[in-house]
Amino acid sequence: MVAQLQNSDVLDTRFRSALDRMVERGRLQAYTAPADPHLELAAIMKKRDGETALLFTDVKGHDLPVVGNFLACQANCEAAFGVDFRSIRQFIGRALGDPRPPMRLEKAPVQQYIHKDDIDLGRMLPVLHHTAADSGRFITAGVVIVRDPETGVYNASYHRLQLVGSNRVAIKLDFGRHLRLAFERAQRRKTALPVAVCIGTDIALQYTAATMGSQMPEGADEIAVAGGLAGRALPVVQAVSQDLLVPAETEIVLEGRMLIDEVHLEGPFGEFVGYLSPEDNAPILEVTAVTHRDKPIYHAINGYGRETIMLRKYVLEASLLKVLQAAIPIVKDAEMTAGGLHRFHAVVQVEKKSAQHDGFQRNAIQAAFGALKDLDLVIVVDEDIDIRDPLDVEYALATRMEASRDLLVMPEGRGHEYVRIGRNGIRAKLGIDATVPFADKARFARCAFEPVSIDAAVLSADPALLRRRLGL
């Protein structure tokens, strides 16, 4: 466990190193029965959602194993990084302020095997068909790397890819994302946009790719930012068919170019909010080369699964705390809750040390909505409330919140357009002040018990012993 990070702290964030640590800590299990990538494999992942990661060793129709539910819960993330979640947040927090330009190699594991001819993605890769309502097979865990054609800055981001031909995929582009900006600039220049899709890549790059919007400025080189997160320069190598650098120890890289004048219907697909996204036209990515290391591992993410949202949990918490603690002196911690998909709901912990701190908790609510546009609910609690225990948070609501004065509604705020209860992303935001005034803290103090330790050896569930002692 790392209590306080220094700029010199270094993490080994390589994909296989992360898997090895997960094996060591019992956070990866082998699924040895045959599993079909058509509907079955994703269903198994969903049934075990939020539990240990799964390695599917016998994938029907393919020699490649598949890793699923990789970073789908706190225990998996901590095992993968080898530090506790607070340290993960600290590493994320330092990333933008300490970018490390990549280290270029001449040879790399990811290019041990190179395929430029007869590319058939559906045959070569165990690409999943997730649900029966989806429009086809989707690559979901690929980190898409491009270099902006005008700024020259590297961008890394997650975008789903639907197979629509042997070497062609339709790539979903959301509005406001940096990849869409780079693609539109390529369109204005009338040149295709070189792309590399990294499957099974460095987890520092995976977390960097999950950072969006105001948390990742457009001018930030995200390969260098990933190096800042890891505390070391990421090794990269020149792509074999496109003018791009790619992470050297990635399992599989799809090189190609986004065509500026051709689209294909993409979707529907089961998204992280649990609904099917509608079909729409999407640009075509034409794959010009597939490279991979020896015995590659294919990484798959369920669209409607906990890994999708866990990838952004610590990124968003680090971003939220950076804003709140700079502006609001009493903020101690924040939790993006599971029920809010680690995106829409936050619990903020504050500590009032004088009457002058009264009111800052409400400033924190407003600052939180400004920091993360997708937040729709912010609950503020005192320092004695465990913000990671939903029961304790509900206790604060039950005993310290008075609805007539502690509910703060901000109408017509901008949120996420996938939340259907809103109006194309417009929705009221709710703040709940579940703190007590500083003068009343003693009156609201909870009963305190003596600190004790219990030896597990003294506990017994032996029926004979229990019946004998009970006189039964």
What is the mean pLDDT of the segment spanning 203-227? Answer: 82
Q: Is pTM beyond 0.95 here?
A: no
371: nearest Cα among 296, 309, 318, 433: 318
Residue 190 has pLDDT above 80, yes or no: yes
Q: What is the pLDDT of residue 5?
A: 45
Domain extent listing, the chain: 96-296, 308-440
CATH 3.30.750.24 at 308-440, yes or no: no
- Determine the distance from the C-alpha atom of residue 360 to the mean position of all C-alpha atoms in its chain, rounded to a whole number: 30
What is the mean pLDDT of the segment spanning 412-422? Answer: 80
Backbone angles phi, psi at 274, to 5 degrees: 95, 0
313: nearest Cα among 439, 207, 397: 207
Q: Which residues contact 347 (CB under 8 A, 6 or more apart)?
A: 334, 335, 337, 378, 379, 380, 381, 387, 393
Q: Indicate the fold that domain 96-296 takes in CATH.
A: Pnp Oxidase; Chain A (2.30.110)
**pLDDT band at 416; cut points 50, 70, 90:** confident
Q: What is the pLDDT of residue 273?
A: 72
Q: How far apart are CA 376 and CA 386, in angstroms?
A: 21
Six-digit token pair at 427?
A: 């929705």
What are residue 334's DSSP bridge partners? 348
Residue 243 has pLDDT above 90, yes or no: yes
142: nearest Cα among 15, 317, 295: 15
What is the mean pLDDT of the segment spanning 402-425? Answer: 86
SS3 291: strand
Residue 396 has pLDDT above 70, yes or no: yes
Q: Give the CA distances from residue 102 to residues 83, 144, 149, 239, 333, in Å, rounded to whole numbers and listed in that order.
A: 23, 17, 19, 14, 32
What are residue 333's DSSP bridge partners? 349
Q: What is the pLDDT of residue 1?
A: 31
Q: How far apart are CA 197 and CA 254, in angstroms?
A: 5
What is the mean pLDDT of the segment spanning 216-223? Answer: 78
Other Cβ atoms within 10 Å of 97 Cβ, number: 10
Q: How far apart are CA 220 and CA 95, in angstroms?
A: 11
Report yes or no: 118 and 128 within 8 Å, Cβ to Cβ: no
Residue 215 has pLDDT above 90, yes or no: no
Pairing of strands 426-434, 407-414: antiparallel
238: nearest Cα among 196, 191, 193, 178: 196
Residue 6 has pLDDT above 80, yes or no: no
* Average pLDDT score over the chain: 92
Q: What is the pLDDT of residue 4?
A: 44
Stronger pLDDT, 163 or 221, i.e. the higher one: 163
SS3 124: helix
Report yes or no: 224 and 8 within 8 Å, Cβ to Cβ: no
What is the mean pLDDT of the segment spanning 278-299? Answer: 95
